[in-house]
């Protein structure tokens, strides 16, 4: 019986003092509110979408990662600017931040509207390209189109 009472004692002591049920529920609610705020900050720093573009600028795959939909017109803007910006991994468009890598003729383009660490986005795109290349045994336009469902599901 002593062990059970010790468990109850531990449950109702926070920072060395006893708290009532109302204070305890307030503490739990404020902790949940803080966790929710942290999740929102994390979500706001995420990539919003990923596009796989062919050499000709065709959108082979579009994967929206958040609830906010990014229009494909960002790809047209990117392709219009591609000659001058092709070597830059991070590009600031009028409405989005764009991150790009090119592997075997396929451009992996990621978009977000909020500032985020650029290396995190570039590393993510590199890993996606590596996983697809390893899984498909190479990476080219025909392989991506032939294995569209697999690529779409893996591109998460």
Question: What's the pLDDT tens digit per position in 43-84?
Answer: 445 888 999 999 888 899 888 887 778 888 888 888 888 777
**C-alpha separations of 141 from 61, 79, 123, 156 in Å:** 11, 17, 22, 19
- Beta-ladder partners of 112: 97
- pLDDT for residue 18: 52
The predicted pLDDT at position 9 comes to: 39
Mean pLDDT computed over 122-145: 91
Residue percentage of the chain with pLDDT more than 90: 22
Q: What angle do CA 82, 64, 130 make, to 5 degrees?
A: 65
pLDDT, residue 65, reads 82
User: What residues contact residue 54 under an 8 Å CB cut-off, 6+ apart?
Assistant: 60, 105, 106, 107, 141
pLDDT reported for residue 127: 93
| pLDDT exceeds cutoff 90 at 126 | yes
Write down the pLDDT at residue 56.
84
């Amino acid at each position: 019986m002593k062990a059970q009472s010790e468990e109850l004692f531990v449950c109702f002591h926070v920072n060395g003092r006893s708290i009532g049920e109302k204070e305890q529920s307030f503490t739990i609610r404020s902790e949940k509110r803080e966790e929710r705020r942290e999740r929102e900050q994390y979500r706001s720093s995420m990539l919003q979408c990923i596009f796989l573009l062919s050499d000709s600028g065709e959108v082979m795959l579009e994967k929206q990662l958040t609830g906010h939909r990014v229009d494909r017109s960002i790809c047209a803007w990117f392709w219009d600017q591609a000659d001058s910006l092709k070597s830059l991994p991070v590009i600031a468009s009028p409405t989005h931040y764009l991150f790009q890598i090119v592997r075997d003729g396929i451009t992996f383009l990621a978009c977000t509207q909020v500032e985020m660490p650029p290396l995190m986005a570039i590393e993510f795109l590199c890993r996606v390209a590596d996983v697809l290349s390893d899984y498909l045994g190479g990476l080219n336009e025909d392989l991506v189109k032939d294995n569209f469902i697999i690529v779409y599901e893996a591109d998460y």
